[in-house]
Structures are given as structure tokens and as C-alpha cells.
Amino acid sequence: MDKELIREKIAKRAEQEIESISYVNLGIGIPTMVANYIQPDKEVVLQSENGLLGIGRFPLKEEVDPDLINAGKETVTATIGASYFSSAESFAMIRGGHIDLAILGGMEVSEAGDLANWMIPGKMIKGMGGAMDLVQGAKKVVVIMDHVNKNGDPKILKSCTLPLTGKKVVNRIITDRAVIDVSENGLVLVEVAKGFTIDDIVSATEAKLHVDENVKMGTY
């Protein structure tokens, strides 16, 4: 499947995690695409670390305002009633526990729910971003990413090898192949994407997977 179509598939499935009447933060990368798929009947307020409450969908070419951006420096639209403020106030919202859901990208997730998503040693990065605050402050953390890396190696591991963003912070993982919950007893496979089998998911995951007795097949 085309890479862009895979990203869209993950984003559409992640939208199902958003409940009506909630405050949500979308991380950089695939998570920002989720804004395009939020159902119109859901009352959702999207928050950005750089000081915007009420993010809308990505703009059409004629709607682009270069001064209106999200934390990933992408141009966005604002919903009716949106508000603008300093990043200090934005982080006060996050650290104060006022964000219901954070949907973040991931490089690695461990079987304990540890997340690594902010840097790769030796590679230039623009900054730490807000992920460390989000994983501690948001009421629920969902990580969305490819199931394996470019070399075909698992990204869901027994232990993360990259610098951690947070320990035991992930509640659910959504990949192009499966939906996996992080529980007190380890990782639980709850959904399998179209075109894959349970064995496919187990073989592409380094960490031990428990298969839910009601695991859903071909849901997205």
C-alpha cells in the first residue's frame, strides 16, 4: 500500500479514540492528520503547545495563513471561537491535567508502555518539543506509528533502545497493522488490520503479546 494511504489509514483509526466533548492534543507527524477525519457530530477542541486552542483542519491553498501554525510549524485553520495565548499558558493546560487525550507519534514503545519519540542519538533535532509534558499531563496517551521501521525491524519492543520520552505512559498503540493496549499484565492485541493475521502481528512484534479473547479482525 502507498505510504500516504497507510498514514491516512492510521489517522482514520486513531480518530475513533476521540470522544465528543473532549480536549485533545495531536503530536507532530501522522497525528496532525487526525484533525482531517474528526466526525462533524463530535464536539472536540484541539490544543497546540505553541498557544492555540481550537485547531481546525488543514487549510486549502487559498485559506493558508502563514502566521497560523501548529507546534509542528504546519499551517492550520482555526475553528469558530478559537483562542490564542502564550506557550507558557498552553503548557500550564497540559501540566495541569486539562488535556483528555494526547495522540503522539512514536519511534519505539516497550511492553511496559515506555515511549521513545523525541530523538535519535547523533541526528540533528530542532528541540525537545512538548511530548515529555504531554505523556505526563494528558489523561490518556495513544501512540500511532508504523509497526516496523524502514529496515523491517519491530518498533514495539521488550525495552526501548532510544532515549525515553516517558516511562509507563502509553495506554494504547495503533499501527498500520494492529491496535494494542498496554495493561498491567503486558501488551494485549485487541484489533488486527485488514490483510494481516494474528501470527503476522506476533512475528512483527518483539515484545510478548497477549491476544484478547475477543480480538477484532479486519477492522480498518
* 99: nearest Cα among 179, 18, 31, 166: 18
At the topology level, CATH places domain 3-217 in Glutaconate Coenzyme A-transferase (3.40.1080)
49 is catalytic: yes
Q: Cell 505510504, residue? A: 3
pLDDT per residue as tens, the chain (220 positions): 799 999 999 999 999 999 999 999 999 989 999 999 999 999 999 999 999 999 998 999 999 999 999 988 899 999 999 999 999 999 999 999 999 999 999 999 999 999 999 998 888 777 778 999 999 999 999 999 999 999 999 999 999 999 999 999 999 999 999 999 999 999 999 999 999 999 999 999 999 999 999 999 999 9
Strand 178-183, strand 172-174: pairing: antiparallel
| C-beta atoms surrounding 150 within 10 Å | 6
End-to-end CA distance of the chain: 13
Active-site pick, 15, 49, 108, 111:
49
* E strand or H helix that includes residue 46: strand 44-48
* 11: nearest Cα among 35, 46, 43: 35
Domain spans of the chain? 3-217
The rounded Cα 10 to chain-centroid distance in angstroms is 9
Task: Compute the 3-state secondary structure of the chain and give helix, strand, coil in percent, each to the nearest 5.
Answer: 20, 30, 50
Name the pTM for this structure.
0.95
